[in-house]
Amino acid sequence: MGRDSLTERELDIMSVLWRNGSGTVSEVREDLADEPGYTTVLKILQILEEKGAIRHETEGRAYRYYPLVAPEEEGGRALTKILDKIFHGSAELMLARLVSDAEISPDQIERMRLLLEDAASRAEEEDR
Amino acid sequence: MGRDSLTERELDIMSVLWRNGSGTVSEVREDLADEPGYTTVLKILQILEEKGAIRHETEGRAYRYYPLVAPEEEGGRALTKILDKIFHGSAELMLARLVSDAEISPDQIERMRLLLEDAASRAEEEDR
DNA sequence: TCCTGTCTACGACAACTTTCGTACACGGGG
DNA sequence: CCCCGTGTACGAAAGTTGTCGTAGACAGGA
């Protein structure tokens, strides 16, 4: 299972698999910004499989790898870690930083606002 | 400067320094959940100093360490990384996961919503 | 003065990560 | 049948991280 946290390189590769749904060694390699050696990519895929983050099926003479861990799951872990260790539990401070740092479209901001509205009203619901 | 990203242990220690403002080796050590050996903590502090994330002043016979990198700065880096690599740029998906995963008080949700309202109206302002 | 406790400096060492070289399998074309 | 291209398997090697043992400085009390 996805207990062990992912290293930098492993995350790079998971990112490709999440984006594309699956990938062979060559496909993944081509999508990496710096295109490491073929066997390097293979090695990391094998490690990820060992860690239980992905699995493979045979496709012709090659392997096709599929994510077993959902990005939201890994993202949740990463976010709570940052929230605790860097922002000491202040989700607003964290959100403020996100809004100021990342380039987020007004459109997206609006949808995020609606999301929070929903969350708020759902919490109210629960109160009764 | 704070270019190199922080490892797990380094982040643990930065977290203590951010929370307390500063700390000696012993102080930091006492605040770590698992209290590693004294020299272990010292070593990581020396590495953090080498990386430019902290500095020290002499205090009596001991050193007192101070953060040089602000938590928001490090947090911004970490958040954009997660946004890009895990949520592929979708800040809403990321926020949704945060809200569902971390325990956030209704109070905090409301303040976050206001924050987004402000951000939205400021963006509108800019349009004119 | 000498011992003891508290501190930093230095370096060893194991574990893990990342990289890749080399070997081996195997199907298809000549 | 033999070779070539495209795969995986295996393991070496270098770099990084995390841990700590040991040494040495130094102040304060007996």
| Residue ranges of B 81-120 with Cβ closer than 8 A to chain A | 82-88, 90-102, 104, 106, 108-113, 115-117, 119-120
Asked if pLDDT for residue B127 goes beyond 80, the answer is no
Does strand D come within 7 Å of the CB of A43?
A: yes
Q: What is the pLDDT of residue A90?
A: 96
* Angstrom distance, A39 CA to C23 C1': 13
* Angstrom distance, B29 CA to D23 C1': 22
3-state secondary structure of A54: strand
Cβ pair A74, A62 in contact under 8 A:
no
Mean pLDDT, all residues of chain B: 93
One-character DSSP codes across B36-58: --HHHHHHHHHHHHHTTSEEEEE
Lowest pLDDT segment from A63-67, B4-8, B16-20, B113-117: B4-8
Does strand C come within 7 Å of the CB of A7?
A: yes
Mutate to test the interface with A, among B104, B105, B114 (most CBs of A within 10 A): B104
Q: What is the pLDDT of residue B5?
A: 87
Instruction: Tell me the pLDDT tens digit for each residue of A40-75.
Output: 999 999 999 999 999 999 999 999 999 999 999 999
* Angstrom distance, A40 CA to D14 C1': 14
Q: What is the pLDDT of residue A127?
A: 67
Note whether B108 contacts A102, CB cutoff 8 Å.
no
Band of pLDDT at residue B2, cut at 50, 70 and 90: very low
Specify burial of residue A34 (Cβ count, 10 A radius: 0-12, 13-18, 19+): exposed
Residues 64-103 of chain A: which lie with beta carbon within 7 Å of strand C?
none
Band of pLDDT at residue A1, cut at 50, 70 and 90: low
B33 to chain A nearest CA, in Å?
12
Band of pLDDT at residue A3, cut at 50, 70 and 90: low
Band of pLDDT at residue A81, cut at 50, 70 and 90: very high
One-character DSSP codes across chain B: ---SPP-HHHHHHHHHHHHHS-B-HHHHHHHSTT---HHHHHHHHHHHHHTTSEEEEEETTEEEEEESS-HHHHHHHHHHHHHHHTSTT-HHHHHHHHHHHS---HHHHHHHHHHHHHHHHHHHHHH-
| Residue ranges of A 68-87 with Cβ closer than 8 A to chain B | 71-72, 74-76, 78-80, 82-87
One-character DSSP codes across A55-70: EEEEETTEEEEEESS-
Cβ pair B96, A26 in contact under 8 A:
no
Band of pLDDT at residue B3, cut at 50, 70 and 90: low
Half-sphere CA count of B43, side-chain side, radius 13 A: 6
Q: What is the pLDDT of residue A122?
A: 81
Lowest pLDDT segment from A91-100, A113-122, B7-16, B46-55: A113-122
